[in-house]
Amino acid sequence: MMDDTRSHVLLTGASGRVGRMVRSHWPARAPDIALTPQYRRDAPPGALDWDPLDGPGAVLASGARFDTVIALAGVTPAPGRDLSGNREIAEATLDAAWQAGVRRVLLASSSAVYGPGDGHPLGEDAPCAPANAYGRAKCEMEAACAPWRARGLEVCCLRIGNVAGADALLHNVAQSGPEEAVVIDRFDDGGGPVRSYIGPDTLAAVLATLCRAPGPLPRVLNVAAPAPVAMTALAEAAGAPYTMRPAPPGAHQRITLDCARLAALHDFAPEDRMVAEMVRQWQATRAG
């Protein structure tokens, strides 16, 4: 039986890389919100065994009354994967949420919808010009939300930047030996790429804030820490040796997000924007 004294949230994609990190930090960040993780198969006790593509039956049969769905489930880029599944999974999740009487869905999109931009921070009103299939798939997913919004379901698409530990650089660090150097592009000014990041603990805190928010959320919201991150600083904070190579033609040095809209909703701690803290949060997740 669910505890009616707390708000209840369903987390889809709980077994994915970001989902696992959010779950590990959630109890400390949001003790007032009961989190139910979703698994497509072999769900542990307290989790929901449900594949969204099978329809809403398992959600409705559970009898659970969820206030919010944090929808992290989706198809990530890899050779041979059908990225159009992002739209299909989102549509199935939104339909189940609507039928179950859920008030709000926080739908994980990606900063990839913007494309590389022009070097200036990308705000939510910037045009979407995705440069790859993943970004195009996330754009299609966002557009597919319209029918459920028209029915009264609140849907906020989260255009998430890099999550420390789920990103390519720290993933490579984790897979490398202690003496094996990671490779970072070097641009004409001698510096490396600069990107928007957020630590996994900070992400859990942001998601909890958005679950608690009383009024309607924006339809689109950039999600990252307020200050961008230099990739060389990230490697140094992780204690990882690195080498630099000339950036290939067409590479972009600065692809960053303007997160002022999020900062108006969530009170970031000063350390949340620090590279060392992002790495600490990632390492704490790995240790747990």
pLDDT, one tens digit per residue, over 130-153 is 999 999 999 999 999 999 999 999
Cα–Cα distance, 260 to 268 (Å, whole number): 11
| pLDDT over 70 (residue 3) | no
β pairing state of 194-195 and 229-230: antiparallel
In tens, the pLDDT along 21-44 reads 999 999 999 999 999 999 998 889
Say if CB 161 and CB 12 are below 8 A apart.
no
pLDDT exceeding 70 applies to what percent of the chain?
98
Residue 97, pLDDT score: 98
- pLDDT category at 1 given cuts 50, 70, 90 is very low
Say if CB 22 and CB 211 are below 8 A apart.
no
Mean pLDDT of the 121-134 span = 96
CATH class of 7-162+199-224+256-269: alpha beta
| pLDDT over 60 (residue 2) | no
